[in-house]
Amino acid sequence: MVANIIARICALLLSAFLIAAFALPAFAGPFEDAVAKFANDEFSDTEEAIGAVSVSGNALAFPIISALQDGRLSADPDTKKVYITQEDGKIIDAATGAAVDKLPDNAAAVRLNNRLRRTVEAALGGLTLLSPDPAKRLAAAQSVFKSHDEAALPVIDNALSKETSRAAKTAFTEARAAILLYKSDATDVEKLEAIATIKARGDQEALALLTGLPGDQSPIVAKAVAGAIASIQSTQTIWSVLQNAWYGLSLGSVLLLAAIGLAITFGVMGVINMAHGEMVMLGAYTTFVVQEVIRTRYPGLFDYSLLIAVPLAFIVAGAIGVLIERTIIRFLYGRPLETLLATWGLSLVLQQAVRTAFGPTNREVGNPSWMSGAFELGQITITYNRLWILCFTMAVFAILLAMLRFTPLGLEMRAVTQNRRMAASMGIATSRVDALTFGLGSAIAGIAGVALSQIDNVSPNLGQSYIIDSFMVVVFGGVGNLWGTLVGAFTLGIANKFLEPVAGAVLGKIAILVLIILFIQKRPRGLFALKGRAVEA
Amino acid sequence: MPHVLTRSLDRSATIFLIVVAAGGILIPLSNLLLPSGSMLQVPTYLVALFGKYVCYAILALAIDLIWGYCGILSLGHGAFFALGGYAMGMYLMRQIGSRGVYGNPTLPDFMVFLNWPELPWYWYGFDRFWFAALMVVFVPGLLAFCFGWFAFRSRVTGVYLSIITQAMTYALLLGFFRNNFGFGGNNGLTDFKDILGFNIQADGTRATLFALSCLALIVAFLICRAVVTSKLGKVLIAIRDAESRTRFIGYRVESYKLFVFTLSACMAGVAGALYVPQVGIINPSEFAPGNSIEAVIWVAVGGRGTLVGAALGAIVVNYAKTYFTSGPLAPYWLFMLGTLFILVTLLLPKGIVGTFNSWWEPWKARRRSENAESAAREDGVSEPDMAE
């Protein structure tokens, strides 16, 4: 019975389509006749009317069908006139589109049952399949792919023959394959082709489509389906591994950015700077201030706000760093535990200062246009801001490495790291190197803050959330070695993201912390320990 | 044994013990016996507040024992404190019985809320006080033992140890925030009704808890004193000042550290267990790394390596915190706390008691020598060396 009706609709759709394709305007009469059928209050007539209207090509077809779906289509059984109550409450005649003052008293909403509702949905899908907008066609094809409604097959065939956009054409082919796969009277050859098409698509929906297939298939089809499912699943595993790897790289770059300054101060000076996170926060707030000024004064410069903020944050955080070193930390050399406490106190003061100045709530920092949005690479989504942060981190890392290697200051810093007393004996002003090193570490934390303001909430607690992670990175990677920090950050980032789907976000993090604690037992000086006598100071 | 305890009592320790004992007796008595509204009557809320300070003082003693005498800076002692608190909290939860909101006789409210069919295995036994009391000491002790076993044997020292203890408490913080961990998640354990059959809100119970806390402080102080003045204590100080040399002399440094670290964790656990019934709640925020660092600053303010100073610092800083955070100065409290951290480490590295001692001792010594000098002059004996 159902198959019969569906076949009838298909025939109708097809014939009406052919007609519509040839000469639209000449068939105003049949459209009106079709519309009038809504007034018969018979489900079978309504069904015919839906079929006829949806292929009519008339501009009113879409409003009529969508009104039907929402229960806004009313009919007068006596005059056989049909009315649409528009969403703004105005009423129009469905056949002509002419405005009507009010509904006749005996007009009643056209009734639907569940089966008709499906027909309506399919018809709406079919209507958008022919939309002049390629994006809409694509979306409609996707929805047909999911619903795999046989009624849409003729429309798809028709649309496919006319389609010019490549993306939409693929989508139509896939939608057609989905329909054929579920069509009870399709031949095995057709089904096998369909399976191949769906397998080539290879995403979650294709998998759902294949696994949802009823079991009563011929052996050859069933075998092909099983093969396709296995193949899709294995590709998906690879993609999810890649996706996790990308997330891990992204997290790793954030960790590296936050930890790199810490690695310098800790590595060169053996100073535990608990206020390091607050330097990151100051950088983020610098970005906020820069954007505020730009918003109010020079709105045209908004896209350059980050480029302006980076040097400013470098200067602000660096200057504060030098100030801290000169006023507090230099009195505490050789007393690392006291330094830890003093800088913790400092972090409380800085947090409270920012809270007083900018308020305790999150401040909004916008993304410039070149950092917003995302693109698809195969089946993984890559957001531009994460990508830029990764590039930025690598750039900072490379510059820092070059600076340590090729500049006089870098040479002095390395000398002090390796053997402070010997360096002092050679005439290096170690206290000046200390101040500059601390300033540099803080300045890098500051520019890290500019980057982190793009992906995190800018609040007085911003730094707190990074401090323990950054310490873990430095301790894991080994002190006094930037490459160790690099490896440490990316290892931790990737390990975290691979544990997350298995163990959940929180347990994954706990597992990482426990693993690091165990790792430190094994290698108390980190992955890349500095060798020599300096370590036993 | 009395010899061991009294041997170590110098003047400041004696004063400290007398003050604590007097407070532990007089404050509850004044609260219970004097009519309310009387000038000398201590209101119940103050008794609970002082009780909290005393618990903090025990925690500070525990930290001073390892930091002041063995050079181990733990930034995770709040974890042991909180674990002890949770053990006591679990006992108190089971005492609620069917008086909870859902009226379930065995399951605490939050488990009923989460549709748990039965009590998880690790909650068994907590309906008995002796078991809970055992766990208060045992759980923090076991964690400290395992942690210290790994850390000290592989010679993780200094700031590295500080950071991994901080990671430890942070990991516990994250864990206890989870609902399916079975400790009430975000909300923790609260809404306690009674302890050992006594109503936990009653004045008498509160006064008794306060007296017990003072007693625990005295006992903890005497234990610490006994440890640090014994031969073991001398080795601990040697480890603090020159770990490698002590090892080369032939002492097994890690065993000493492990012992004192575990002992300290057990004391912190007891402090937490006394803290929970007096404040009426325990939740995961007690594990926050900031709390542990704050506890370290109490010790630094009072004077590390003095024991009396640690307890004094805990009380002074917390009193200041209560005073400032309840007044119009509340927004400035973090400024003050932060500045306190900086100033104490920069200007007062010995803390209040240490600085006082370093003024007091030379003065006393000079007075003693002046006395001796004048006595000698009266005897008509000259001091030939004095001229030079």
Over residues B318-327, the pLDDT tens digits come to 999 998 888 8
Measured in angstroms, the CA of A536 and the nearest CA of chain B are apart by 10
Residues facing residue A73 across a β-bridge:
A84
Q: Which residues of B touch A348 (CB under 8 A)?
A: 334-335, 337-338, 341
Residues of chain B with C-beta less than 8 angstroms from the C-beta of A338: 300, 345, 349
Per residue in A492-505, pLDDT tens? 899 888 888 887 77
Select the residue of B156, B170, B174 nearest A521 (Cβ to Cβ): B156
Average pLDDT, stretch B179-190?
Answer: 87
Contact A536 B171 (CB under 8 A): no
* Best A521, A525, A527, A530 residue to mutate vs chain B (most B CBs within 10 Å): A521
Nearest to B302 by CA among B63, B55, B73, B70: B63
Q: Looking at the complex, report in whole angstroms how far the Cα of residue B315 sits from the nearest Cα belonging to chain A.
A: 19
Binding-face residues of B in 243-272 toward A, CB within 8 A: 244
Contact A520 B171 (CB under 8 A): no
Cβ–Cβ below 8 Å for A468 and B297: no
Chain A's closest residue to B289, CA to CA, is: A468
B341 and A CB contact within 8 Å: yes
Q: Does B337 touch chain A (CB under 8 A)?
A: yes
Query: What would the mean pLDDT of B350-369 be, rounded to a whole number?
Result: 83
CB contact (8 A) between residue A524 and residue B346: no
Alpha-carbon gap: B361 to the closest alpha carbon of chain A (Å): 25
Residues in chain A: 537
Residue B342 touches chain A, beta carbons under 8 Å: yes
Return the amino acid letter for A186. Answer: A
Which pair of structure tokens corresponds to residue B141? 């002790």
- Asked if A337 lies within 8 A of B150 by C-beta distance, the reply is no
Helix (H) or strand (E) holding A375, with range, is: strand A374-377
Residue B75 contacts residue B289 (beta carbons within 8 Å): yes
B347 CB near a chain A CB, below 8 Å? no
B387 vs A41: which has the higher pLDDT: A41
Tell me how many residue pairs between chain A and chain B have CB atoms under 8 A apart: 122
**Residues A178, A193: contact at Cβ < 8 Å?**
no
Neighbours of A263 (CB within 10 A): 27
Q: Token match 């000024």: residue?
A: A293
Q: What is the mean pLDDT of residues B360-374?
A: 80
Pair of tokens at residue A130: 């022919």
**Per the CB < 8 Å rule, is A352 touching B73?**
no
Please indicate, yes or no, whether the overall pTM of this predicted structure exceeds 0.90: no
How many helices (H) and strands (E) are present in chain B, helices listed first? 15, 4
CB contact A356 to B (< 8 Å): yes
Among the partner-chain residues B289, B293, B335, the one whose CB lies closest to the CB of A349 is B335
| Nearest-by-Cβ selection for A520 from B156, B178, B244 | B156
Mutate to test the interface with B, among A335, A496, A510, A515 (most CBs of B within 10 A): A510
| Shortest CA distance from A505: residue in chain B | B174
Contacts of B244 in chain A (CB under 8 A): 536
Smallest CA–CA distance from B167 into chain A, residue? A513
Dihedrals phi, psi of A504, to nearest 5 degrees: 90, 155
Q: Which residues pair with A85 in a beta bridge?
A: A91
Partner residue facing A352 (CB), from B167, B168, B334: B334
The end-to-end CA distance of chain A, in Å, is: 89
State the smallest CA–CA distance between residue A411 and chain B in angstroms: 26
Cβ contact (<8 Å) for B160 and A536?
Answer: no
The answer for residues whose C-beta is within 8 angstroms of residue A88's C-beta and 6 or more apart is none
DSSP state of A109: E
Residue B170 to residue A513, Cβ atoms within 8 A:
yes
How far from B289 is each of A12, A290, B148, B296, B326, CA to CA, in Å? Answer: 72, 33, 18, 11, 23
Tokens of A2: 């159902």
The Cα A388–Cα B144 span in angstroms is: 44
What is the rounded distance in angstroms from the CA atom of residue B306 to the CA atom of residue B387?
37
Question: Phi/psi class of residue A525: alpha, beta or left (left: φ > 0; alpha: ψ in -120 to 50)?
Answer: alpha
8 Å CB contact of B171 and A522? no
Q: In degrees, to the nearest 5, what angle opens at C-alpha A533 toward C-alphas A527 and A537?
A: 90
Query: Do A344 and B293 lie within an 8 Å CB cutoff?
Result: yes
Q: Is B335 on the interface with A (CB under 8 A)?
A: yes
Chain A residues with CB inside 8 Å of B153's CB?
521
Closest CB from A342, A475, A524 relative to B341: A342
Higher per-residue confidence, B129 vs B3: B129
> Do B319 and B53 meet the contact criterion of CB atoms below 8 Å apart?
yes
> pLDDT digit string (tens) for B76-99?
999 999 999 999 999 999 888 888
A472 touches chain B (CB under 8 A): yes
Written as one letter, the residue type at A377 is L
Helix %, strand %, coil % of chain B (to 5):
75, 0, 20
pLDDT of residue A27: 43
**pLDDT band with cut points at 50, 70 and 90 for residue B133:** very high
- Give the residue among A333, A437, A351, A270 at the shortest CA–CA distance from B345: A333
Q: How many CB atoms lie within 10 A of CB A391?
A: 11
Q: Mutation test of the interface with chain A: which of B75, B156, B160, choosing the one with the most A Cβ atoms within 10 A?
A: B160
**Chain A nearest C-alpha distance from B50 (Å):** 25
Picking from A338, A468, A536, the nearest residue to B345 by CB comes out as A338
Is residue B162 a contact partner of residue B75, using CB atoms and an 8 Å limit?
A: yes
Cα of A34 vs its chain's centroid, Å: 46
- pLDDT averaged over every residue in chain B: 88
**Which has the higher per-residue pLDDT, B203 or A533?**
B203
Under an 8 A CB cutoff, do A517 and B73 touch? no
ipTM of the complex: 0.83
Contact B159 A524 (CB under 8 A): no
Q: Give me the residues paired with residue B189 across strands.
A: B282
Parts of chain A with a pLDDT under 50: 17-28, 534-537
The verdict on a CB contact (< 8 Å) between A348 and B160 is no
Q: How far apart are CA B125 and CA B90, in angstroms?
A: 10
- Among the partner residues A335, A346, A472, nearest to B342 by beta-carbon distance: A346
